[in-house]
Amino acid sequence: MAGSGACGSAHTSPVHINRQQPPSIFTNTDGQKVALITGVTGQDGSYLAEFLLKKSYKVHGVIRRSSSFNTHRVEHLYEHPNFRMHYGDLTDSMNMCQLLSTIKPDEIYNLGAMSHVKVSFDMSEYTADVDGVGVLRLLNAIRSCGLERTCKFYQASTSELYGKVREIPQKETTPFYPRSPYAVAKQFAFWSLVNYREAFGMHLSNGILFNHESPRRGATFVTRKITRAVAAIHRGTQSQLELGNIDAKRDWGHAKDYVEGMWMILQQEAADDFVLATGETHSVREFVEKAFLEVGITIKWRGEAVNEVGYDSADDNRVLVKINPKYYRPTEVDLLIGDPSKAKKGIRMAGKNVFLRSRQGNGGGRHQTSRLRQFYTVLKTHTALCRAGFDKLIVPNDCILAELFVSRVSKTDRKSWRAARVLRDIRAAPVRVV
């Protein structure tokens, strides 16, 4: 594992190595492209690793050293002959240099970040070091290792750059107005890429991604927080859901679509920056209402500001949603909606998954039936109904009629799912629907 060349030879220990992997797993010695993914254990990183492996890439993931396990999203990839993980940290320049000099990637996807906006106010210096200066460290490592002409670089930028929006919808030319330390750090990273691209002719691209969700979304993000709470309330293990600004509006897409967009961006001959979005915006309030509908509860609202509550329309005394000021951001971002026209035209990006139309909303049964195949694909890798004893299930962040799914999938298909890998997720998130 010792590195060589201009970047030094700091040692980096690999994680979960398949000892049968040949040395050629490191570099492009047989015509296969080599990709390096920072943040590989996150939602986007895990989907991207799967996507690239299906395209016959050699995939290297970077993981921070931790005393706790956080690799459940990529555990199923450990035995893949073209997948390998390495310890690394965006705050360690020498470590980044050593990895690049050893792996010599054709493509780098920088998805690693301190990505929780609210927490970035409490950890502003760390956020700046990782999300801002960390990107600069990677760019300098590429140059120090002599890879500036052969390595393409993708930076996971964010719609939070637009903050206090200057125009609606937001596109690549919309001025930035960041409203959090997270967004400020991301703006530094964005312009670092533009600067190095123009100064050194490097293939560096920013993907300005609007919110994107999946069953792999972290539990601290609002969408997953809502769906987990709805599940727990339905089970009787939680009584209420507390939220901050429920009138904030976001452009929500699906993570699987967006990681495909990341790859498509790096396949362009010329580096450029692209907005990836659905072009739709929905409020947190609407998300709450649709999530509760999935367990047969219609939410009604009363009160104003911090005194507003959401209650069960069937029982006026059953308050299920409360506003807690501690979840407010010091500076709010009220409305985000992206204009993906450039991506649709330039990289022919077309999202397949859009915000759910609930059973009582627009779209009706035909829309839900057309989404059954997508739901089946997500659910196959996320849960095992029969072995866990759940005959009907709600899956976080894919709020669609579970009953419809169960009625269409054969018993043979259900029994064929490998349950052991997902029992932990089943206990944490799904619910029984009666």
Q: Lay out the sheet containing 107-110: strands in order across.
A: 14-15, 83-87, 58-63, 34-38, 107-110, 152-158, 203-209, 274-276
Angle, CA of 71, 39 and 170, to the nearest 5°: 130
Helix, strand, or coil (residue 107): strand
Short-list 295, 336, 333, 329, CA closest to 312: 295
Contact 390, 426 (CB under 8 A): yes
Task: Determine whether 327 is an active site residue.
Answer: no
Whether residue 169 has a cis bond before it, omega within 30° of 0 = yes
Contact 47, 256 (CB under 8 A): yes
Other Cβ atoms less than 10 A from the Cβ of 99: the count is 28
Query: How many contiguous H segments (helices) and E segments (strands) does the chain have?
Result: 16, 16
Q: Residue 241's beta-bridge partner residues?
A: 321
Select which of 160, 260, 289, 294 is catalytic: 160
Task: Determine whether 160 is an active site residue.
Answer: yes
Render 350-369 in DSSP notation, one character per residue. Answer: --S--PPPPTTSSSHHHHHH
Other Cβ atoms less than 10 A from the Cβ of 105: the count is 28
Distance of CA 145 to the CA centre of its chain: 29
241 membership: H or E segment, kind and range: strand 241-243
Select which of 182, 196, 258, 311 is catalytic: 182
Measured between alpha carbons, how far is 190 from 206 in angstroms, rounded to an integer? 7
Exposure b/e, 3-23, CB count within 10 A at least 16 = b: beeebbebebeebeeeeebee
Contact 277, 159 (CB under 8 A): yes
Select which of 158, 174, 227, 383 is catalytic: 158
Task: Determine whether 158 is an active site residue.
Answer: yes
Contact 103, 35 (CB under 8 A): no
The pair of three-digit structure tokens given for residue 248, joined into one six-digit string: 């904030």
Measured between alpha carbons, how far is 257 from 246 in angstroms, rounded to an integer? 26
Measured between alpha carbons, how far is 15 from 126 in angstroms, rounded to an integer? 25
Which residues are catalytic, by number?
Answer: 158, 160, 182
